[in-house]
A and B are shown apart, each in its own frame.
Chain A
Amino acid sequence: MIGRHRHLIGLEGLSREELLQVLDLAASMKEVLSRPVKKVPSLRGKTVVNLFFESSTRTRSSFEIAAKVLSADAVNWTSSGSSVSKGETLLDTARNLEAMRPDVLVVRHAASGAPNLLARHVGCAVVSAGDGAHEHPTQGLLDCFTLRERLGTLEGRTVAIVGDISHSRVARSDLHAMTRLGAQVRLCGPPTMIPMGVEALGATVHHELRSAVEGADAVVMLRIQHERIGDPLIPNTREYSKYWGLNARKAAEWLKPSAVVLHPGPINRGVELSSDVADGPHSVILDQVQNGVAVRMAVLYLLAGGAPEGARAEKA
């Protein structure tokens, strides 16, 4: 249980206390990763199934390592080469997996809402590993964890999120969690990539990179997806990079010296981020990857740890 929640579908519904519960626990989990024996027995006998309908090496491996460090058994299902490519429906796949009695189902799907649908039909805990343009909750948590580690707190800090906000599940999870934790969020990108009315979620909108990143404590550079390029949203990568990409010259002129730069990966080097920034002093990108394992350990521990019946009885 994360606070009142049996599943982790998104960060939108989580309270400040619930977010901090996961982030504080993740700090203890990170310490486990630095031990000589990187394994604790807390989820012995539990099974975590990774159900990935979209390819993702980083997120899947991160969940797999997190499960294994906690001594859970991790089973990976990818859509290619499975019964999905033979035409099985999402619910049938899930019901079949459920018959194998997993404790946690980690789902990545191209359709927004797929994890939510599964949560309503299976008995085990469901964790979203990213669904369509909806949310990527563990990415949002690991970004917040990394910022807390670097900035001490998110309260009163300014975070700029730059890129294709409309299609980014990372932007949405970051926005929900960061504003809930007290940060000011600035969204920046080409007008074609900023959803109408997004200010209602508590963010300010910028169309120029400079005004978005100047004075910010952190900058999250989103990945520009190749399929959007050449599409009317942006004409080409050169133009995108010129106006919304971050390079060392812009970073030196506009960023606070202490500002940190995040990226959810994989990076399009030279498009949204130049190599001298990705590998430079502002970058905390590799910290994010390590923190991702700690955050996912915390999520798996909270959702697989307690007995669901007991927890329900207590709440009743």
Chain B
Amino acid sequence: MNAEAVGRAVRRIAREVLERAKAAGAEQSLAFVGIRRGGVHLAERLRDEIGRAVGAVPPMGTLDIALYRDDLSQRGVAPVVGPTDIRFKLEGRVVVLADDVLYTGRTVRAALDELVDFGRPRQVWLAVLVDRGGRELPIAADFAGARLEVPEDEDVQVRWQEEGAAEDAVVVHARRKP
């Protein structure tokens, strides 16, 4: 996917989120939470798009799921823990949880566990830029910018301008040996 396709996908997700929010009477109670790191950029862009459409910028937070991982004792080195920052009350909110790539579903499982430790949102919707298949848990995206079938030995990488890429892109490449 090139920059144009990424932009189109983000706008389409924003439109769908807004339609569903309107149907649920929840335009004013939307909130966005990005899963670090790639999900944060998707959450920010969705918040900005929807903020423009409803005339008020919804609150936004970030989640770092390192402390909620289920593979800590199988990994050689403990993963780096980044900041989690949720400064608004989740009660009554419809939280759009955003990540760049949905694969096994384990990251989303960890993010849901962490999210509910901050409060009890009215609903949680999952938005991802790319759903690459390969789920190991019963988790599905409510909104996906693209659905790809990617073989297990390949990686999907989202490059964001916010992280220094020349332009946004989604690339699929052979997995680097660890």
A residues with a Cβ closer than 8 A to B are 1, 25, 27-29, 31-32, 35-37, 39-43, 45-46, 70, 301-302, 305-307, 310-311, 313-314
Across the interface, A301 reaches (CB within 8 A) one of B76, B78, B114, B119, namely B78
B67 touches A42 (CB 8 A): yes
Across the interface, A307 reaches (CB within 8 A) one of B74, B83, B117, namely B74
B78 touches A302 (CB 8 A): yes
CB-CB under 8 A for A307 and B73, given A35-B117, A37-B117, A41-B68: yes
Main SS of the interface on chain B? loop
B76 touches A314 (CB 8 A): yes
* Least Cβ–Cβ distance between A234 and chain B, in angstroms: 45
B14 beta carbon closer than 8 Å to chain A: no
| Count of interface residues, chain B, beta-carbon cutoff 8 Å | 24
Chain B residues near A35: list those with CB within 8 A. 117-118
Select from chain B the residue with minimum beta-carbon distance to A103: B73
A40 to B116, CA, bound (A): 12
What are 30 of the A-B contact pairs (CB < 8 Å)?
A1-B76, A25-B81, A27-B83, A28-B81, A28-B83, A31-B83, A31-B84, A32-B67, A37-B117, A39-B117, A40-B114, A40-B117, A41-B67, A42-B66, A42-B72, A43-B72, A45-B73, A301-B81, A305-B72, A305-B73, A305-B75, A305-B77, A305-B79, A306-B77, A307-B74, A307-B75, A307-B76, A310-B74, A311-B76, A311-B77
B64 beta carbon closer than 8 Å to chain A: yes
B152 beta carbon closer than 8 Å to chain A: no
B73 touches A36 (CB 8 A): no
Choose among A29, A35, A46 the residue with the greatest number of B CB atoms under 10 Å from its CB: A35
B85 touches A40 (CB 8 A): no
B154 beta carbon closer than 8 Å to chain A: no
B113 beta carbon closer than 8 Å to chain A: yes
Chain A residues near B12: list those with CB within 8 A. none
Select from chain B the residue with minimum beta-carbon distance to A308: B76
Chain A residues near B85: list those with CB within 8 A. 31
Chain A residues near B83: list those with CB within 8 A. 27-28, 31
Chain B residues near A29: list those with CB within 8 A. 81
B78 touches A40 (CB 8 A): no
A43 to B69, CA, bound (A): 10
Given A28-B83, A302-B78, output 19 extra A-B contacts at Cβ < 8 Å: A1-B77, A28-B81, A36-B117, A39-B117, A40-B114, A41-B67, A41-B113, A42-B66, A42-B72, A45-B73, A305-B72, A305-B73, A305-B75, A305-B79, A306-B77, A306-B78, A307-B74, A310-B74, A310-B75
